[in-house]
Amino acid sequence: MKIAILSRDATLYSCKRLREAALARGHQVEIIDPLSCYMNINPASAAVHYRGEPLPHFDAVIPRIGPATTFYGTAVLRQFEMCGSYPLNESVAITRARDKLRSLQLLARQGIDMPVTGFAHSPDDTHDLIEMVGGAPLVVKLVEGTQGIGVVLAETRQAAESVIDAFRGLNAHILVQEFIKEAQGRDIRCLVIGNEVVAAIEREAKEGDFRSNLHRGGCARRVEITPREREMAVRAAATLGLDVAGVDILRARRGPLVMEVNASPGLEGIENTTGLNIATMMIAWIEQHARPGFSLKTGG
C-alpha cells in the first residue's frame, strides 16, 4: 500500500516508528507536512498539491496533527478523504476530540462517567460556578491546553476564585472540575485500537505535582486494567468516532472516570513502558480496513 503520514516533524518518535513499521510490512511511506499542502476542492477533480506538485493517490493517511495545527491539518485530511484515502482517524473525529467541551458533552450523553465538570466563558458568577461543581478543592483548566499546561489545582475557594478571575482576564474558555484527590496524582492511559485496549500504562506525577503528564516529569509503569475500565475506554473512543485513541482514566472512589480522549496519542511513553509494538498494530489495522471502496463512518 501507499501510506502518507501527515506530520510537521519527521524526527518525532511516533512519526519515525510508524514509518519504520509500515516499511517493515512492505508498504511505501511518505511523510507530508500538512501546512505545506494546498488544495483544489473542485468536485470534479479534488486534489492535494504539495510543494509545487500534485500528490499521487494514497491508499491510507495517518494523521499526526498537533494541537497547534488542528484547523488546517484536519482540512488537509478531509481533502485526502475526498480523494479516497483511508484515514486512520477521520477528520471529523479528530475535530471532536480536540474540543474538550464538545467531547465531554458527547461522552456525558452516552452516560460515560467523568469528574463533575463545569464550563464557562469569562464567567461573571464565579461563586455559582464553583458551587456547581461542589466547591474547592477543584481543578481549573484552559480548554485549549495540552501537556498539563494551563491545568491548575485550587485548594481553597479563594484560590479557585483568583485563578478563575485571572483566566477571565485572558478572555479564555475554561473548565472547572471536581478534583479527584484519591487518584493521588496518577492516571491510566489506555491505548485503544478499534474495539480493543491494546496497551495500558499508569502515569504518576512527580513529587509535589498532581499532574501525571510525562511532559511534566511524571513516570509510567505497566498496569492491569479492570474489565469496566476496558469497556469504558473502548466506548469513549467509539463515541468520538476514533479508531485509534489514548483514553485517560482517573481511578476515583466511585469508579473509573474518563478525563480526556486524545486523537493523536504519543507512542514513545507507552511503547517504552510496555515493550509492545503499537506502531505495527496501527499499520495492521490499516491493512485490515483500507480496502478500495471503504466508506467513511461519518463522511467528514
The reply to whether 195 sits in an annotated binding site is no
Residue 260 within binding range of Mg ion, rule CB under 5 A:
yes
Contact call for residue 260 and ligand ATP (CB under 6 A): yes
The 3-state secondary structure of 53-74 reads: EECCCCCEEEECCCHHHHHHHH
The alpha carbon of 159 is separated from its chain's Cα centroid by a whole number of angstroms, namely 29
Which of 122, 146 has the CB closer to Mg ion? Answer: 146
Instruction: Fill in the per-residue mask, 95 to 134: x = in contact with Mg ion (CB under 5 A), - = not in contact.
Output: ----------------------------------------
112-140 CB burial, b ≥16 within 10 A, e <16: bbbbebbbbeebeebeebbeebeebbbbb
- The nearer residue to Mg ion, 19 or 96, going by C-beta atoms, is 96
> Applying CB under 5 A, does 202 fall inside the site for Mg ion?
no
Sign of torsion over alpha carbons 29, 31, 37, 41: positive
Query: Which of 34, 115, 241, 269: binder of ligand ATP (CB under 6 A)?
Result: 115
| Cα radius of gyration (the chain) | 20
Q: Is 212 one of the annotated binding-site residues?
A: yes
Q: 30 or 144: whose CB is closer to Mg ion?
A: 144
**Count of beta carbons in the 10 Å neighbourhood of residue 253:** 8
- Closer by beta carbon to ligand ATP, 146 or else 280: 146
Work out whether 137 is an interface residue with ligand ATP (CB under 6 A).
no
Task: Please choose which of Mg ion, ligand ATP, none residue 147 contacts, taking the beta carbon within 5 to 8 angstroms, the exact cut-off set by kind.
Answer: ligand ATP
Residue 275 φ then ψ, to 5°: 70, 10
Q: Which residue has the CB atom at the shortest distance from Mg ion? A: 260
Closest contact distance (angstroms) between CB of 261 and ligand ATP is: 10
Cβ-based nearer residue to ligand ATP, 187 or 271? 187
Q: How far is the CB of 114 from ligand ATP (least distance, A)?
A: 9
Chain centre distance of CA 134: 27
Q: Write the burial class of residue 260 (CB in 10 Å: 0-12 exposed, 13-18 middle, 19+ buried).
A: buried
Q: Which amino acid is at 290?
A: A
Beta-carbon contacts of 177 under 8 Å, excluding residues fewer than 6 positions away, are 115, 116, 117, 118, 133, 138, 139, 140, 141
Dihedrals phi, psi of 123, to nearest 5 degrees: -65, 140
Which of 187, 202, 229, 243 forms a contact with ligand ATP (CB under 6 A)?
187
- Residues within the interface to Mg ion (CB under 5 A): 146, 248, 260
Residues that bind ligand ATP (CB under 6 A): 115, 139, 141, 145-148, 151, 177-180, 183, 187, 205, 210-213, 248, 250, 259-260, 262
